[in-house]
């Protein structure tokens, strides 16, 4: 079976920099696989996620995602792939503060018809995900900036999951939470990722969480640019 | 909720800054429209005031000055015309009718005109409309007075009221014609022209109240007894009149007559055609109008720059918002589109409110212009070309929005998934 994501000989240098921030010989991820990626700050994890998200384009290499090479694909094509097949959760500031929870969750479906079609009843799907993320219905119409950070991260997870994307990218989603909430959040995220049959690439510097994943990789080992530095 | 819905919510979130920007643009547009509206309305008002008069004749003076004091009651005459000249002009074959007028008196700041009954018959305003009586009729007795609509309304006069005229124009008059009270016999219907701001007495009455006056002062005990004056009413006539309105049998004769008036041997006269003299007046005021227009246009530019400032200032704080939209599948052009849409919405709202503001100010200013200058300013919709200009300003607003949009476009491409700090 071909992997969902297959990265080969990737090199990326930020415009204006002389040295590449990321040089990746190979990394792949199977459909439905939950991978923990350890990466301290500066290890190039945000760059890697932006590359997988198709927001930036590497100078060389290959990013095969769902059998399409994102590097070959034009900007519009990458935008479409991202909208259709990716869910993202950041460390913080995931939500549009002036929008209510429901509309924040429905956001990806506005940019992709295919994703909205997969979600079916978009509003119903958003409500279901919010409920499953233990967010009480009375919160759903509140502005996103009126709820706690822990609640915001669960809303972000619900948004990432709407329309069952093939891959969820999570960039330190738990680092703003205290220990207990961290585990609770992970529990909820796992159950929903499994229900949606999505793969999960979870990047964190917190190795304690690694044991719960199918596989753990160390980005510092993978990234040849960092080794040279 | 589609993308525009998101843009709307985002705008609502920043409503205070957005509202201020809309106000700035509305004020600038309001000024622009108002300047143009008042300019055309005031001109229209001037044109309305004199219609059907082919030639205005006065003592030798500048054409614009003659027009202003004879029709609009602005300024004073420096030279009169002798009664003989008046009778000669009136007798010319090409002259159909002549309205002589004698100025020099006032009542509570309103001008009093000594006129012949021809005035009520031949004077026209607006679209060749006749003067009509709201109530009462022309003067019958020597000391009867007919008053304009505005005079009646402002001073709360009714038919039969007795009033006293003052010597000289203006509000403050040291000497009055106290011995000769006048009775109001007629109130004219409103015309929306200076006719409403004036009082009318017969030329004989004008003469009668000035008997015994020399160099602007009345010789003590020299005033004529009203009843004596009444017996002599037939013979009373002024020595001179201030101006004459002439109507010709054939309009084509006006150029020839004007030349003859200007070359009149017995005394120095000026003959003017009202329409042409108004054009001269516009040439004089045109410069000031241009300055006002330029100022208004610059204020609009300032308004648009203000919008640009606000959009650019919010760009920084909205960077996160844009990154979130981007991470969730928004295309760069959609992000840019949001900003252009926002600029367009602000500009459109500003323009709409600005036009409304201009029309309201016009509505409020209209009574003041009417009472102060006798100018009737109608509440007309801006002309088609003005909407063309407003359309161009809207496009300029969109173009202003393109600047932050282009910056946002480049930034979203460079930022990656999350803001790089």
Do residue B363 and residue B256 come from a single domain?
A: no
Across chain A, mean pLDDT equals: 88
| Contacting residues of A for B7, CB less than 8 Å apart | none
| Contacting residues of B for A94, CB less than 8 Å apart | 324
What size, in residues, is chain A? 229
Do residue B148 and residue B256 come from a single domain?
A: yes
Q: Residue B74 in 3-state DSSP?
A: coil
pLDDT exceeds 90 at position A167 = yes
Nearest by CB: A98 against B13, B327, B415: B13
Do residue B123 and residue B193 come from a single domain?
A: yes
pLDDT at A229 (0 to 100): 46
Do residue B260 and residue B349 come from a single domain?
A: no
Do residue B181 and residue B299 come from a single domain?
A: no
pLDDT at B169 (0 to 100): 66
**Inter-chain touch B418–A82, beta carbons under 8 Å:** no
pLDDT at A1 (0 to 100): 66
A63 touches chain B (CB under 8 A): no
Q: Which of B43-47, B229-233, B359-363 has the highest mean pLDDT?
A: B359-363
pLDDT exceeds 80 at position A178 = yes
**Exposed, middle or buried by CB within 10 Å (0-12, 13-18, 19+), for B134?**
middle
Question: Which residues 6+ apart lie within 8 Å of B295 measured at CB?
Answer: B31
CATH architecture for the domain at A5-228 = 3-Layer(aba) Sandwich (3.40)
pLDDT at B417 (0 to 100): 59
**Inter-chain touch B331–A111, beta carbons under 8 Å:** yes
B328 touches chain A (CB under 8 A): yes
- Higher-pLDDT residue of A166 and A178 is A166
Distance, CA of A203 to CA of A172 (rounded, Å): 6
C-alpha dist (Å) from residue A183 to A34, A146, A194, A208, A209? 16, 23, 16, 10, 8
The string of pLDDT tens digits covering residues A23-39 is 888 899 999 999 999 98
pLDDT at B354 (0 to 100): 94
Do residue B33 and residue B137 come from a single domain?
A: no
pLDDT at B265 (0 to 100): 87
B17 touches chain A (CB under 8 A): no
Nearest by CB: A53 against B2, B9, B327: B327
Across chain B, mean pLDDT equals: 86
Residue B279 maps to a domain = no
Question: What are A221's two structure tokens?
Answer: 């080992």
Q: How confident is the model at residue A19 (pLDDT cuts 50, 70, 90)?
A: confident
Are B180 and B209 in contact by the 8 Å Cβ rule? The answer is: yes
pLDDT exceeds 50 at position B120 = yes
Number of domains in chain B: 2
pLDDT at B234 (0 to 100): 76
pLDDT exceeds 70 at position A128 = yes
B204 touches chain A (CB under 8 A): no
Nearest by CB: B9 against A94, A99, A108: A99
Q: Residue B394 in 3-state DSSP?
A: helix
Residue B280 maps to a domain = no
B2 touches chain A (CB under 8 A): yes
Are B184 and B157 in contact by the 8 Å Cβ rule? The answer is: yes
pLDDT at B272 (0 to 100): 93
A77 touches chain B (CB under 8 A): no
The string of pLDDT tens digits covering residues A184-225 is 889 889 999 999 999 999 998 888 888 889 999 998 888 887
Q: Please give the backbone phi and psi of residue B101, each rounded to the nearest 5 degrees, phi first.
A: -135, 140
Residue B420 maps to a domain = no
Residues of chain B above pLDDT 70, percent: 93
**Inter-chain touch B327–A99, beta carbons under 8 Å:** no
Q: How confident is the model at residue A161 (pLDDT cuts 50, 70, 90)?
A: very high
Closest CA to B370 of B202, B120, B174, B192: B192
pLDDT exceeds 60 at position B42 = yes
| Contacting residues of B for A85, CB less than 8 Å apart | none
Question: What are B205's two structure tokens?
Answer: 């009455």
B415 touches chain A (CB under 8 A): yes
Where do the structural domains in chain A lie, given as residue ranges? Answer: 5-228
Distance, CA of A167 to CA of A200 (rounded, Å): 6
Distance, CA of A34 to CA of A28 (rounded, Å): 12
Lowest mean pLDDT among A195-204, B119-128, B408-417: B408-417
Q: Distance from B383 to chain A by nearest Cα, in Å? A: 41
Question: What are B32's two structure tokens?
Answer: 């622009």
Domain extent for B80: 55-272
Q: Please give the backbone phi and psi of residue A32, each rounded to the nearest 5 degrees, phi first.
A: 80, 0
Question: Which residues 6+ apart lie within 8 Å of B382 measured at CB?
Answer: B33, B36, B37, B355, B358, B390
Do residue B179 and residue B112 come from a single domain?
A: yes
**Inter-chain touch A56–B416, beta carbons under 8 Å:** yes
Q: How many CB atoms lie within 10 A of CB A140?
A: 18
**Inter-chain touch A79–B331, beta carbons under 8 Å:** yes
| Contacting residues of A for B1, CB less than 8 Å apart | 103, 110
Q: Distance from A88 to chain B by nearest Cα, in Å? A: 7
pLDDT exceeds 70 at position B374 = no
Q: How many CB atoms lie within 10 A of CB B154?
A: 15
C-alpha dist (Å) from residue A135 to A87, A109, A125, A140? 19, 20, 14, 8
**Mean pLDDT value of segment A35-59:** 86
pLDDT exceeds 80 at position A102 = yes
Do residue B67 and residue B166 come from a single domain?
A: yes
Residues of chain B above pLDDT 90, percent: 38
- Taking CA atoms, what residue in B is nearest to A81? B329
Question: What are B359's two structure tokens?
Answer: 């029309």
Are B147 and B188 in contact by the 8 Å Cβ rule? The answer is: yes
**Mean pLDDT value of segment A113-132:** 91
Q: How confident is the model at residue B412 (pLDDT cuts 50, 70, 90)?
A: confident
Do residue B96 and residue B245 come from a single domain?
A: yes
**Inter-chain touch A83–B334, beta carbons under 8 Å:** no
pLDDT at B184 (0 to 100): 94
Do residue B136 and residue B227 come from a single domain?
A: yes
Residue B281 maps to a domain = no
C-alpha dist (Å) from residue B135 to B147, B258, B261, B264? 10, 37, 38, 41
Overall pTM surpassing 0.90 (yes/no): no
For helices A122-132 and A101-111, give the axis angle rounded to 10 degrees: 130
Q: How confident is the model at residue B140 (pLDDT cuts 50, 70, 90)?
A: confident
pLDDT at B43 (0 to 100): 84
pLDDT exceeds 70 at position A227 = no
Distance, CA of B202 to CA of B87 (rounded, Å): 16
pLDDT exceeds 90 at position B139 = no
Do residue B229 and residue B291 come from a single domain?
A: no
| Contacting residues of B for A46, CB less than 8 Å apart | 416-418, 420
Q: Residue B141 in 3-state DSSP?
A: coil
The string of pLDDT tens digits covering residues B194-217 is 888 899 999 999 888 888 776 666
Do residue B264 and residue B394 come from a single domain?
A: no
């Amino acid at each position: 079976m071909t992997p969902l994501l297959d990265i080969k000989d990737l090199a990326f240098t930020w415009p204006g920099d002389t040295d590449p921030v990321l040089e990746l010989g190979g990394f792949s991820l199977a459909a439905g696989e939950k991978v923990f990626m350890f990466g301290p700050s500066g290890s190039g994890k945000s760059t890697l996620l932006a590359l997988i998200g198709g927001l930036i384009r590497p100078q060389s290499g290959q990013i095969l995602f769902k059998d399409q090479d994102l590097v070959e694909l034009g900007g519009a094509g990458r935008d479409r792939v991202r909208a259709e097949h990716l869910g993202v959760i950041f460390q913080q500031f995931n939500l549009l503060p002036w929008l209510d929870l429901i509309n924040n969750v429905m956001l990806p479906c506005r940019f992709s018809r295919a994703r909205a079609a997969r979600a079916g009843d978009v509003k119903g799907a958003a409500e279901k995900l919010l409920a499953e993320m233990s967010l009480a219905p009375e919160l759903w119409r509140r502005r996103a900036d009126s709820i706690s950070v822990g609640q915001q991260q669960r809303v972000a997870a619900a948004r990432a999951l709407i329309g069952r994307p093939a891959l969820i990218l999570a960039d330190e989603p738990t680092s703003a939470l205290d220990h207990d909430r961290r585990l609770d959040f992970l529990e909820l995220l796992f159950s929903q990722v499994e229900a949606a049959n999505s793969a999960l690439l979870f990047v964190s510097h917190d190795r304690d969480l690694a044991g719960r994943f199918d596989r753990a990789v160390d980005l510092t080992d993978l990234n040849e640019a960092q080794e040279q530095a | 909720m589609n993308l525009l819905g998101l843009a709307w919510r985002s705008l609502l979130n920043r409503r205070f800054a957005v509202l201020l920007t809309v106000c700035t643009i509305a004020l600038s547009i309001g000024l622009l429209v108002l300047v143009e509206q008042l300019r055309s309305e005031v001109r229209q008002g001037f044109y309305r005031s004199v219609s059907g008069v082919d030639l205005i004749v006065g003592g030798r003076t500048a054409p614009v000055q003659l027009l202003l004091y004879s029709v609009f009651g602005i300024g004073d005459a420096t030279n009169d015309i002798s009664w003989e000249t008046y009778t000669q002009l009136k007798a010319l074959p090409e002259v159909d009718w002549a309205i002589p007028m004698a100025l020099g008196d006032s009542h509570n700041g309103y001008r009093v005109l000594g006129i012949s009954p021809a005035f009520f018959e031949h004077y026209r305003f607006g679209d060749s409309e006749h003067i009509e009586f709201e109530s009462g009729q022309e003067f019958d007795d020597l000391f009867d007075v007919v008053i304009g609509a505005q005079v009646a309304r402002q001073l709360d006069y009714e038919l039969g009221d007795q009033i006293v005229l003052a010597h000289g124009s203006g509000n403050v008059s040291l000497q009055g014609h106290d011995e000769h009270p006048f009775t109001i016999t007629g109130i004219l219907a409103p015309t929306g022209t200076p006719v409403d701001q004036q009082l009318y007495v017969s030329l004989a009455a004008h003469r009668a109240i000035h008997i015994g006056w020399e160099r602007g002062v009345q010789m003590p005990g020299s005033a004529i007894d009203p009843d004596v004056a009444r017996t002599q009413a037939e013979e009373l006539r002024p020595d001179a009149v201030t101006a004459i309105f002439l109507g010709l049998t054939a309009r084509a004769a006006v150029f020839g007559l004007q030349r003859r008036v200007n070359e009149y041997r017995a005394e120095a006269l000026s003959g003017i055609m009202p329409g042409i003299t108004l054009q001269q007046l516009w040439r004089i005021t045109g410069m000031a109008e241009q300055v006002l227009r330029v100022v208004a246009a610059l204020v609009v530019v300032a308004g648009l720059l203000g919008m640009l400032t606000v959009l650019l200032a919010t760009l920084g704080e909205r960077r996160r918002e844009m990154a979130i939209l981007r991470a969730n599948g928004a295309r760069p052009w959609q992000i840019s589109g949001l900003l252009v849409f926002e600029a367009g919405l602000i500009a459109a709202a500003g323009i709409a409110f600005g036009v409304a503001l201009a029309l309201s100010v016009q509505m409020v200013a209209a009574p003041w212009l009417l009472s102060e200058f006798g100018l009737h300013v109608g509440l007309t919709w801006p002309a088609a070309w003005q909407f063309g200009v407003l359309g161009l300003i809207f496009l300029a607003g969109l173009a202003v929005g393109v600047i932050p949009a282009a910056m946002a476009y480049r930034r979203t491409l460079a930022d990656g998934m999350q803001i790089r700090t």
